[in-house]
Amino acid sequence: MAFEFTDSNFKEVALDKEGVAVVDFWAEWCGPCRLVGPVIDDLSKDYEGKATIGKVNVDTNPEISMKYGVRSIPTILFLKNGEVVDKHVGTATKQTLATKLEAIL
């Protein structure tokens, strides 16, 4: 299962920690988000120990969404050592996201 990022743990887990984090901004009512969810879950298993891969529910964690200007969901941010290095908006295949992740690792 993918990691659950929240307003309270985001700084510690994604920003202050060295390495790569993949953050999927989603909401339960969002159809395309439900398509991307299983892809994020698969990637979190495939890259366990190499990257922190998880989700942020925009409805319950508005601070992070506002900080990164997320207006459309799903939005997937790729962070390396706390800095955004890539971004994907909309649905995506596992291969597309894995290719982006490999390039960052």
Tell me which residues are annotated as active site: 30, 33
DSSP per position, the chain: --EE--TTTHIIIIISSSSEEEEEEE-TT-HHHHHHHHHHHHHHHHTTTTEEEEEEETTT-HHHHHHTT--SSSEEEEEETTEEEEEEES---HHHHHHHHHHH-
